[in-house]
Amino acid sequence: MVEAPKRPQHLSVALPSSLTQDVPHLREKTGRVGLIARALAIFRVEEVVIYNDRPGGGAESEGKLLEKLLTYQETPQYLRKSLFARDPDLQFAGTLPPLRSPNHPDPEGPKVGQLRDGVVLESGNRSKVDAGFRIPVQVSSRAKLLDKVTVRLTRTSPQLEAEVVDPSGLAIYWGFRVTRGNLRLSDLVKSGKQDLTISTSRKGRIVREVVADLTIRWKSSRRPIVLFGSPDEGVPEILSREATRVAEVADFNLNTIPNQGVETVRTEEAVLATLSVLNLLEEV
């Protein structure tokens, strides 16, 4: 298993709750989310924020579905039965492509120093954690029942023992987390949690025109966020409905696919293309 180094920054991506609303069948919705999750893991995104781009209507239920599918795909396979009940929304989850990120390890025997995600089976002074091995792992700390935790094995004999670790302190990339609130995009970008905001739009500046300034800002940022629009509206249009201009809240409004050969670029395609471009800035 490749252990990719963690980014020096906490990279977030903002996705609209209506991301799959234009797709009529759950199978196709699941497939679209699967492609996006793969792109997020490939480019070591730390956090996915789902914003409410269409208050009312069916966007809220679509946002819940998006959150559920992303969270399911990010969860290691050996934990899914414990953390997810049978759910009609997940009936096509078997078609989701595996992430194969460091927190999704191959089946193997326990070794000292090994990192694993697990779920707490018994809570107490010595809690028991299912970390995907034949027997549970004991940790010498109290953990909340059914919580998902990350552990590092400290002993394999005569029993499996481990310590709970904070994934944010690891030197390797350990997957993304998904958050969803009833936040409009304008409220999200005005929250001030990020130090660099990048909007993506066909009407934005072609990335090569601003690459020098973008590279400097990208390398110096610690909490960048990249904004993506919906199948029906770009980021500037969504913000405009919320009485906000993109220039007021975004440091860069980028066109990362200049001279596109198709009428529209789908959000999952924009995510892959944009993160590819930003990933190259680390090497400039």
Task: pLDDT tens for the chain, 284 residues: list them.
Answer: 667 899 989 999 999 999 999 999 999 999 999 999 999 999 999 999 999 998 776 778 999 999 999 999 999 999 999 999 999 999 999 999 999 999 999 888 899 999 999 999 999 888 999 999 999 999 988 888 999 999 999 999 999 999 999 999 999 999 999 999 889 999 999 988 899 999 999 989 999 999 999 999 999 999 999 999 998 899 999 999 999 999 999 999 999 999 999 988 999 999 999 999 999 998 76
Does 240 lie in the same domain as 155? no
The enclosing domain of 30 has a CATH number of 3.40.1280.10
Q: Is residue 107 situated within a structural domain?
A: no
Sign of the dihedral through C-alpha 67, 69, 74, 80: positive
74 within a domain of the structure (yes/no): yes
- Closest by CA position to 252, among listed 193, 211, 192: 211
73 lies in the same domain as 187: yes
Same domain, 210 and 264: yes
- Identify whether 109 is part of a domain: no
Q: Are residues 183 and 209 in the same domain?
A: yes
Q: Is 59 contained in some domain?
A: yes
For 177, half-sphere exposure in the C-beta direction (CA atoms, 13 angstrom radius) is 6
Spell out the residues 6+ positions from residue 15 whose beta carbon is closer than 8 angstroms to its own: 36, 48, 49, 50, 51, 66, 228, 267, 271
Q: Tens digit of pLDDT for each residue in 196-225?
A: 999 999 989 999 999 999 999 999 999 999
Quick: pLDDT tens for 24-33: 999 999 999 9
Here the contacts of 4-8 (C-beta below 8 Å, separation 24 or greater) are 4/44, 4/101, 4/102, 4/172, 4/173, 5/171, 5/172, 5/173, 6/44, 6/170, 6/171, 6/172, 6/173, 6/174, 7/44, 7/46, 7/173, 8/222
Strands 115-122 and 148-155 turn out to be antiparallel
Cα 29 from Cα 65, distance rounded (Å): 9
The reply to whether 63 and 194 lie within a common domain is yes
Percent of the chain with pLDDT over 70: 99
5 domain-assigned: no
For residues 126-145, one letter each, b for 16 or more C-beta atoms within 10 angstroms of the residue's C-beta and e for the rest, the string is ebbbbbbbeebbbbeeebee
Domain boundaries, position 205 = 12-99+177-283
Nearest alpha carbon to residue 162 among 148, 170, 152: 152
Q: Which of 276, 270, 273, 260 is nearest to 44 (CA)?
A: 276
Same domain? 221 vs 133: no
> Per the domain annotation, does 276 fall within a domain?
yes
> How far lies 232's CA from each of 22, 135, 137, 167, 248, in Å?
8, 49, 48, 36, 22
Shared domain for 273 and 202, answered yes or no, is yes
Same domain, 30 and 156: no
Same domain, 127 and 85: no
Pair (201, 249) in one structural domain:
yes
For residues 142 and 24, state if they share a domain.
Answer: no
Contact (Cβ atoms closer than 8 angstroms) between residue 201 and residue 240: no
Instruction: Indicate the Cα dihedral angle 138, 144, 148, 149, nearest 10°.
Output: -50
Give 175-202 pLDDT, tens digit per residue: 999 999 889 999 999 988 899 999 999 9
Assigned domain for 212 exists = yes
Show which of 164, 188, 205 is a domain's final residue: 164
Strands, E assignment, the chain: 12-16, 47-51, 115-122, 127-130, 137-139, 148-155, 161-165, 177-180, 196-206, 224-227, 252-255
Neighbouring C-beta atoms of residue 216, cutoff 10 Å: 12
My answer on whether 135 and 91 are in the same domain is no
Q: Is residue 108 part of a domain?
A: no
- Residue 220: both structure tokens together: 């110096």
Number of domains, the chain: 2
Q: What is the domain-level CATH number for residue 121?
A: 2.40.50.140
Judged by DSSP in three states, 183 sits in coil
